[in-house]
Amino acid sequence: MLFRSALVDGGAHRVIVGTSAFTGNGVNHGLLAEIAAAVTPARVLIAVDSKGGRITVKGWTESTELTAEQAIQDLAPYCSGFLCTYVDKEGMLQGTDLDWFRRLRAATPLDLTAAGGITTYEDVQALLDMQIHAALGMAIYTGRLDLARLAAMNQAPAG
């Protein structure tokens, strides 16, 4: 299969499956089963992007009927974790929805990486306390968050 030879055999540690994980009717079980069989679920992360409380696809221009909490239950057999973007606040430097990430943490024991609106050290610490990784962009680019301080936070025991 192309996934195996081109990605994993080429050195990729993990494969992130984006919005192709979804169809207009929900989860794309056929594609995800094929990917998981080719590279094993341990090497697959699935992107779960949410806008207005629903999974969003096609460059965040269309929404499905699924919530992220519902979707991760169906997606779990195919992956080892999720890259979860809170699209409502992506790139706005207005903070994120920590309650949404708490609900996701409660819905799955799998690895979670949070993205979208993470702006302060308090946001990062709250995510670390939930055992959720943080994908940071705009807050670093604009100098709001310092890489050295973030690295130190990441090394500190969760508390």
Query: Domains in the chain, ordered, with CATH?
Result: 2-155 (3.20.20.70)
pLDDT of amino acid 5: 54
Alpha helix stretches (DSSP H) within the chain: 2, 29-39, 68-75, 98-107, 121-129, 138-141, 147-155
Residue-wise pLDDT for 113-128, tens only, equals 999 889 999 999 999 9
The per-residue pLDDT for 59 is 67
Q: Do 95 and 139 meet the contact criterion of CB atoms below 8 Å apart? A: no
Mean pLDDT of 22-38: 89
**Residue showing tokens 């709250």:** 126
pLDDT of 3 reads 54
Judge whether 109 and 80 are in contact, CB under 8 Å: no
Report how far residue 11's alpha carbon sits from residue 54's, in angstroms, rounded to the nearest whole number: 34
Distances (CA, A) of 79 to 35, 85, 92, 98, 158: 9, 17, 29, 23, 25
Nearest to 116 by CA among 136, 134, 90, 94: 90
Report the C-alpha gap between 22 and 24 in whole angstroms. Answer: 7
Can you tell me the mean pLDDT for 26-44? Answer: 91
Rounded to an integer, what distance in angstroms lies between the CA atom of residue 43 and that of residue 157? 26
93-116 pLDDT per residue, tens: 677 889 999 999 999 999 999 998
| Look-up of token digits 């670390």 | 128
